[in-house]
Amino acid sequence: MSILKISRLGHPILLEKTNPVQNILDNEIKKIIYDMSETMIDAKGIGLAAPQVYINKQIMIFRTFNEDHDKNNEIKITALINPKISKITNETDEQWEGCLSIPGMLGLVKRYKKIKYEGLDMNGNIIKKEAEGLEARVVQHEYDHLMGILYTSRLVDEKAFGFSEEIEDFWKNQNKDKKDNNELNSN
């Protein structure tokens, strides 16, 4: 496995819609997924999409959120190939998001609270799940990457974006009563 270079805001690959994977069972795809996993862990992210490592393919990974995730410090990762997502309700919430392709910055983004997602794993098995909370948010963020969309185009307010230190000092303190204070890791 190898750690890959992460593309950053300004590189056009982040604004391209990705192509579906045709050769799902190919070893090349497995290698991409392993390398993306190592890259995400190294960068302390919670999700990563292929365009973030300069690959125009519908592949995304994210840390698996379950009760026993911290047993033995084991990190479980879900890889989704050719994913589809849909909302379960119209309910939304607003949270601060970061992105490994926009390091040091945070933005306040509205997302659906509950979604369904479906895709294939690297063995060609169908993964079909419902998600809410952080998992729903990360999946929507990564899916957006596959569509060439960055969270900066989904800000609830154009002022709700900036360097994380400034956001901590200004936004979170000023708006403590209005907004949830939770900070997300980069994805």
Q: Enumerate binding residues for Zn ion (CB under 5 A).
A: 99
Point out the catalytic residue in the list 74, 91, 130, 142: 142
Nearer to Zn ion, 14 or 81 (CB): 14
Handedness of CA 94, 168, 149, 142 (dihedral sign): negative
CB of 187: closest distance to Zn ion in angstroms? Answer: 5
State in angstroms the smallest separation of the CB of 160 from Zn ion: 17
Q: Which is nearer to Zn ion, 24 or 37 (CB)?
A: 37
Contacts of 137 (CB under 8 A, 6+ apart): 95, 97, 111, 184
Nearer to Zn ion, 153 or 174 (CB): 153
Collapsing DSSP to helix, strand or coil, 98 comes out as strand
Q: Is 142 a catalytic residue?
A: yes
SS3 31: helix
User: Between residues 33 and 40, which has the closer beta carbon with respect to Zn ion?
Assistant: 40
What residue has token string 């895709």?
119
Identity (one letter) of the amino acid at 22?
A: Q
Using CB positions, name the residue nearest to Zn ion: 99
Give the C-alpha separation, 109 to 62, whole Å.
18
Instruction: Pick the closest to residue 131 from 79, 87, 68, 184 (CA basis).
Output: 87
Q: Which residues are catalytic?
A: 142
